[in-house]
Amino acid sequence: MISDRETDAHLAGVLEILKQKFEGGEKPALLFAVYHCLLLKRPLPEWLRLAFLDTYEAHARFEIRSWDEVFGPPVPKGTQLLTEKKRRLVIERVWELKRENPKTAIDRGLFEKIGEEQGMSGSAAEGLYYDERSQWLREINEDMSGRFFGILRKSKNSPL
């Protein structure tokens, strides 16, 4: 079982990454941050509360025509859903294996194993893992040793 202290440390790390992304212009990061607080049953930090209120109230100020303008589209145009699902499975599997054995190297052999499990080549698994679109998931899970994938996966509302 994961302690409250570990949960709080995890959330603080995730929120710092998402805050940087949001401040850098990545709109969906705001909703991901709210999601993580709600998932882990923690209050919103002040920066997130204020950012969400300001963003939400843009509709009352008639500054937006669509929620996509302030939160970003749920799925960017041109996204291949099957590829994104595979990306999540590969990243999740890497960190499951790392959690089982922290000395596991993230190398060609690991990607060959995961690729075989997922019905793809090792180089395809490696490509999905290191693709630029995987960066935020890798950052969050490398920072947190991947131990929270299990919590996220068990949530029926999880994007994982």
pLDDT tens for 68-111 read 988 888 877 888 888 889 988 999 899 889 888 889 999 999 99
d(CA 92, CA 138): 9
Q: Which of 1-17 are b and which e, b meaning 16 or more Cβ less than 10 Å from the residue's Cβ?
A: eeeeeeeeebbeebbeb
d(CA 74, CA 95): 25
d(CA 36, CA 47): 14
What pTM was estimated for this model as a whole? 0.65
Inter-helix orientation angle 46-56/28-39, to 10°: 130
Question: Tokens 């490696």 sit at which residue?
Answer: 126
Work out the angle at residue 17's Cα, subtended by the Cα atoms of residues 156 and 88, and round it to the nearest 5 degrees: 40
Task: Tell me how far CA of residue 9 lies from CA of 5, 42, 55, 124, 144, in angstroms.
Answer: 6, 12, 26, 33, 8
One digit per residue, the tens of pLDDT, for the chain of length 160 reads: 678 898 899 899 889 999 999 999 988 899 999 999 999 999 999 999 999 999 999 989 999 999 998 888 887 788 888 888 998 899 989 988 988 888 999 999 999 999 999 999 999 999 999 988 777 777 766 655 544 545 444 444 444 4
